[in-house]
Amino acid sequence: MAESSFRTVAVLGATGSIGASALDVIARHPQRLRAGVLAAGSQVQALVALCARHRPDHAVIADADAYAALRDGLREAGLPTRAHAGAEALDALVAGDACDTVVAAIVGAAGLSSTLAAARAGKRLLLANKESLVLAGELLTAAAEAAGAEIVPIDSEHNAIFQCLRSRQALGDVRRIVLTASGGPFRGRSRASLEAVTPQQAVAHPKWSMGPKISVDSATLMNKGLELIEAHHLFGVGSDRLAVLVHPQSLVHSLVEFVDGSTLAQLGLPDMRTSLAVGLGWPERIDSGVGGLDLLAQGRLDFEAPDTDAFPCLRLAWQAMEAGGTAPAVLNAANEVTVSAFLQGQIGFLSIPALVEDALAAQPAEPAGSLDALLAADAQARRFTEQAIAQRRIRA
């Protein structure tokens, strides 16, 4: 293999679900891939264990108070890995020589700064952190374009679309992009029956094994709403060329319909290592550890329309996308706060859409010309929603 195709990878969110899948694929290809930087939020022990296994040059913990524990843990394990702490240290490592490829898999808007740093530095950006696109999609894609950063979407739907288009930009010959959705653990249930569902039930996804936040987003269908906005930015298509189709088997990962009537789809088992292998190997295909698809054994592929009465988050996201400006940032921020409160048992499941709707109503869309304007809208929506939860101004 040519020397130039060797990639040194920074895995941001290394201790998470996507991080584990990325490291699994990287470890399969010692001749072409190496983890150079591993970063996590606050789990020092898990990060040290990953360093022992993958031998990166640098390890970064977001929580500054955990720096000494990380440094000592690495030293006690006899590892040469250098310890760092805080968001600025992470951004500098992402932008510098320590990596040429970045797996952006921090959960939530907390991932925006490092994702932007990777784009601005012209890195190959394997983008799982969909919240950064929802919050600042135009700025992020413009930064990537200006610096020549190649974005490969990792979200399975967008990775499927990327494979069908063989690029990131949809052209005039694309009539429609159809995102598939599993429907989550509560598919087919009425709105009333969702009143008392527990966090444990909500995170028990029938098809995908994922972190807690995106699992709740899948249960409310907000995940598909965030993905609509993500697709809008990644592929440069408006809402008139986007659609959502529920597909409970999660084998067809999305479809692209062209003007000649052709529809291309990407199929595969629901395992994120496929998307990550596409991003790590692109334009070549490399082993991901995922088996092939036996359609005869699977039996059937079903499709149905999404139920936006039971799952209003999809409708709210669609409205925020069409409103544009600061609206997607408000949607995302209110959603992050409510999902966290739901996971902590502070609010019920139906309060998630109710509170997101309240936040959107309280903060009408304004033009979002700068990162500061978007971050201000994000902060305001968080404050508003936190207060609403504290005051139990919950309608649902």
Binding site for ligand NAD (CB under 6 A): 13-19, 39-41, 43, 62, 105-107, 110, 128-131, 155, 208, 210-211, 213-214, 272
Instruction: Please choose which of ligand NAD, Mg ion, none residue 255 contacts, taking the beta carbon within 5 to 8 angstroms, the exact cut-off set by kind.
Output: none
In angstroms, the CA 260 to CA 249 distance is 28
Residue 167: CB partners within 8 Å, gap ≥ 6? Answer: none
33 interface partner picked from ligand NAD, Mg ion, none, CB below 5 to 8 A per type: none
- For 304, which DSSP code? B
Contact 90, 84 (CB under 8 A): yes
Grouping H, G, I as helix, E, B as strand and the rest as coil, residue 6 is: coil
Min separation Cβ 44 and ligand NAD, Å: 10
Which of Mg ion, ligand NAD, none has residue 41 at its interface (CB below 5 to 8 Å by kind)? ligand NAD
Task: Provide, rounded to whole angstroms, the least separation between the CB of residue 226 and Mg ion.
Answer: 9
DSSP notation for 150-211 = PEEE-SHHHHHHHHHHTSSS--TTEEEEEEEE---TTTT--SGGGTT--HHHHT--SS----
Nearer to ligand NAD, 244 or 388 (CB): 244
By C-alpha distance, which of 54, 45, 44 is closest to 20? 54
Q: How far is CA 333 from CA 195, 330, 336, in A?
A: 23, 5, 5
Q: With CB cut-offs between 5 and 8 Å by kind, which of Mg ion, ligand NAD, none does residue 225 bind?
A: none
Question: Can you read off the two tokens belonging to residue 300?
Answer: 């059937």
Q: Is 271 in the site for Mg ion (CB under 5 A)?
A: no
- For the CB of residue 93, give the shortest distance to ligand NAD in the complex, in Å: 12
Q: Which two tokens stand for residue 220?
A: 């409310």
Q: How far is the CB of 219 from ligand NAD (least distance, A)?
A: 13
Q: Indicate which of ligand NAD, Mg ion, none lies near residue 131 (CB less than 5 to 8 Å, by partner kind).
A: ligand NAD
**Which does residue 67 bind out of Mg ion, ligand NAD, none, counting CB within 5 to 8 angstroms by kind?**
none
Minimum distance from residue 171 beta carbon to ligand NAD (Å): 25
Three-state secondary-structure class, residue 127: strand
Q: Which single residue brings its beta carbon nearest to Mg ion?
A: 155
Backbone angles phi, psi at 20, to 5 degrees: -65, -40
How far apart are the C-alpha atoms of 258 and 175, rounded to whole Å?
5
Is residue 34 within a helix (H) or strand (E), and if so which, with residue range? strand 33-40
Q: Which does 149 bind (CB under 5 to 8 A by kind): Mg ion, ligand NAD, none?
A: none
- Report, in Å, the least distance between residue 356 CB and ligand NAD: 16
Cβ distance to ligand NAD smaller for residue 227 or 358: 227
Considering the complex, state which of residue 70 and residue 105 has its C-beta at the smaller distance from ligand NAD.
Answer: 105
- Quote the least distance from Cβ 331 to ligand NAD, whole Å: 14
- Minimum CB separation from Mg ion for residue 182, in Å? 9
Which lies closer to ligand NAD via its Cβ, residue 19 or residue 36?
19
Rounded Cα gap, residues 180 and 245, in angstroms: 5
Q: Which is nearer to ligand NAD, 47 or 388 (CB)?
A: 47
Select the residue interacting with Mg ion from 57, 91, 155, 358 (CB under 5 A): 155
Residue 80: CB atoms within 10 Å: 10
Within a 13 Å sphere around the CA of 182, how many CA atoms are in the beta-carbon half? 23
∠ at Cα 316 (312, 320), nearest 5°?
A: 170
* Distance in angstroms (rounded) separating the CA atoms of residues 144 and 150: 7
Q: Which residues contact 305 (CB under 8 A, 6 or more apart)?
A: 245, 246
Residue 106 binding: pick among Mg ion, ligand NAD, none (C-beta 5-8 Å cut-off by kind): ligand NAD
Evaluate whether 150 touches 234 at the Cβ level (below 8 Å). no
Nearest distance from residue 90's CB to Mg ion, in Å? 24
Q: Which is nearer to ligand NAD, 94 or 388 (CB)?
A: 94
Residue 324 phi, psi dihedral angles, 5° rounding: 65, -155
Residue whose CB is less far from ligand NAD, 67 or 208: 208
Q: Which among ligand NAD, Mg ion, none contacts residue 232 (Cβ within 5 to 8 A by kind)?
A: none
Q: Closer to ligand NAD by CB, 19 or 306: give it.
A: 19
Interaction site with Mg ion (CB under 5 A)? 155-157
